[in-house]
Amino acid sequence: MLDNIKLGQYLHGDSWYYRLDPRGKLVMSTFFIVIIFMANNWITYLAATLFTLIIVLSSGVPLKYFYRSIRPIVVLIFFTFFLNLFFYRDGTPFPPLNIIINKIVVIVYAILVVTLLIFRFTKVIDRYIIPKIFKYSTLLFILINVVLCYLIKYTHFNWSFQWIVYKEALINGGYIILRLILIISMSSLLTFTTKPTDLTLAIEHVLTPLKIVKFPVSELALMISISLRFIPTLLEETQKVLKAQTSRGADFTEGNIKDKVIQIISLLVPMFIISFKRAEELANAMEARGYVPGRKRTSLRELKWRLVDTFYVLSFILLTAFFIYFRK
């Protein structure tokens, strides 16, 4: 699973996007994250999607790598979407969906009751889940349902669950999902097509004005570059440790909470040791090559701004103008 994560990994290729100046790619990727929040209707989001698709498809990077970059945060994306459905309370209700949702709630509740009864008779709950907290879990659950039925029949107790979904909440939730996907795609494209050394040079050039206030621009650029470079390396090491512990009988998928915590700790300890060892080796290698923090350094490769980089920047300016014109 971890070997499918491609965050921060450079992919070898040769296309127009690979040959762009890394300064332009860095600044425009950051600029895109800012201007995407200017989109607020279907026209602007359609333009942003088509713009991103054109760049992604012509960059030469296979689409499966973008999918692998988005997959780790799919749960977060849909969690944000459902939060928007819960808390957005303005606009026009969406009756068909409300009816469906309330029926789903009743069905899920019925399935929960049946499941608990089956688990009770098979001793699953009392044996594995809550043996010390609720010895008579099913009896307690039945008692709660009896009280609930009494309140419904003989009192004016409002028991119905009404989750009102608004059309605007659905639309805004879709915009949120699309916005996150576009941001991740453009950010991933930057690391996929830019070497860590070129990215370090780009960060250093972009932050050059901060040297006026004695800000350690070179050191910051180096730290960011090393962090991006070692993300895939640490993921590979984690995968090796997982396989090694699995071959020795460790199982990270089963067991209670206590066992899982112990297993995670057994994974974290060797990862910390490997990380410190990698850091020490890197420090020794940098010192052996004459690196001194704060000293002025030269670069083997000099960045050159070309005409295609200017057109690339102009395309983002045109996209911004489009957003401003069609923004409601």
Over range 223-239, report the average pLDDT. Answer: 77
pLDDT of residue 303: 80
Q: What tokens appear for 279 in the block?
A: 């850091």
CB 164, CB 98: distance < 8 Å? yes
pLDDT of residue 117: 62
pLDDT of residue 47: 92
- C-alpha span between 126 and 142 (Å, rounded): 15
**Looking at per-residue confidence, does 215 or 228 come out higher?**
215
Quickly count: other Cβ atoms within 10 Å of residue 169's Cβ.
24
Backbone φ/ψ region at 260: left (φ over 0), alpha (ψ -120 to 50), beta:
alpha
Mean pLDDT of the chain: 76
pLDDT of residue 131: 47
Instruction: Return the closest-CA partner of residue 182 out of 46, 26, 34, 49.
Output: 49
Percent of the chain with pLDDT strictly greater than 70: 69
Of 33-37, 94-98, 163-167, 187-191, which range is least confident?
A: 94-98
Residue 1's pLDDT band (cuts 50, 70, 90): very low
- In this predicted structure, the answer to whether residue 298 has a pLDDT above a threshold of 80 is no
pTM: 0.67
Over range 274-286, report the average pLDDT. Answer: 85
pLDDT of residue 311: 93
**Looking at per-residue confidence, does 296 or 212 come out higher?**
212
- In this predicted structure, the answer to whether residue 267 has a pLDDT above a threshold of 70 is yes
- In this predicted structure, the answer to whether residue 301 has a pLDDT above a threshold of 60 is yes
Backbone φ/ψ region at 8: left (φ over 0), alpha (ψ -120 to 50), beta:
left
- C-alpha span between 297 and 292 (Å, rounded): 9
Sign of torsion, CA 193 197 200 204? Answer: negative
Residue 31's pLDDT band (cuts 50, 70, 90): very high
Q: What is the 3-state secondary structure (H, E, C) of 44-67?
A: HHHHHHHHHHHHHHHCCCCHHHHH
Residue 132's pLDDT band (cuts 50, 70, 90): very low
User: Which pLDDT tens digit goes with each residue over 80-104?
Assistant: 887 777 777 666 776 655 556 556 6
**Looking at per-residue confidence, does 235 or 101 come out higher?**
235
